[in-house]
Amino acid sequence: MEVGLLIHKKLTILIPCRLNSRRLPGKALLKIGNNRLIGLVYKNTLKSTESLPVTSSIFVCTDSDEIINYLKSENIPYLKTSSNPKNGTERIAEALTQNKIKSDYIIDVQGDEPFVNSEILNLVYLNLSNNFDKPFDNSGIILPHQIISKEDANNISVVKMAIDSESKVRYLSRSLIPFNHKEEKSTIGRLVFMKHLSVIGFTNKALEKYSNLGQTYLESLEDIELLRALENDIPIFSPKSYSETFSIDTESDYLKAIKLVQEQNN
């Protein structure tokens, strides 16, 4: 899609997507029910915007011609990017810049998050607008979480977080955090594991700042893109989501998604 003039939006929702995936090759075009994965993400995102208190535009952002051909066949809006972005955050930043789209707030719905819903989108947008009322001056990110079991927390595909009493994210890791070193009984009852969800809100300034930073040591080590923000003092806040959702990272996630869609359609 070509955008010739500078367009200003209150909210833009972008779905970064690539064809090559290390753990599940070609997953964006895998079939789930009557849709491809990326099509299901878009349709559920579009449906979820109906309850937002602000209008928004939604685009899939990709460098893949194969994905673009599918998007065209389904009349799904898209922005083509280069193959340079190292992660989804870089991809959406490039898409906005190349197409001269300015937004107060940007929500990144990852292209492997097919069960995005209105609760999560509202949670992210309301926290963005309430915490950062001057998005072009304030740098901040909203990264919602859900509580998970210790068994799920032990999965390195699941990114966990540690937050403080004001819901500010202090660290993100694939390792088990927090770790109960002494295994004290008084601690076990309060031990909570939090998984970060793949629906992420940015102020304009936060996304701009992130995109101008180079990859950091911890980001590269853990393969978690938002560690770049933490390592450069971009604040991330994490409200709790009560929705049951999951991203498709592995073959077992894919089979789980197929089963869930079948159950929803019956």
218-245 confidence digits (pLDDT tens): 999 999 999 999 999 999 999 999 988 8
Task: With CA atoms as reference, report the closest residue to 244 among 149, 106, 177, 127.
Answer: 149
Q: List the Cα angle 114/222/24 in 5-degree steps.
A: 40
Is 7 within 8 Å of 102 (Cβ atoms)?
yes
pLDDT over 70, % of the chain: 94
Helix (H, G, I), strand (E, B) or coil at 38: helix
Q: Could you tell me the two tokens for 195? A: 């998984």
Domain ranges across the chain: 7-265
Query: What pLDDT does 4 receive?
Result: 43
Sign of the CA dihedral with 66 first, then 58, 143, and 234 last: positive
Is 257 within 8 Å of 263 (Cβ atoms)?
no
Q: Indicate the helix (H) or strand (E) that contains 145.
A: strand 145-148
Q: First-to-last CA distance in the chain?
A: 37
7-265 adopts what CATH topology?
Spore Coat Polysaccharide Biosynthesis Protein SpsA; Chain A (3.90.550)
pTM of the model: 0.93
- Which of 171-175, 178-182, 220-224 has the least mean pLDDT? 178-182
Q: How many residues does the chain have?
A: 266
Query: What pLDDT does 254 receive?
Result: 92
Return the axis-axis angle of helices 65-73 and 37-48, rounded to nearest 10°. Answer: 50
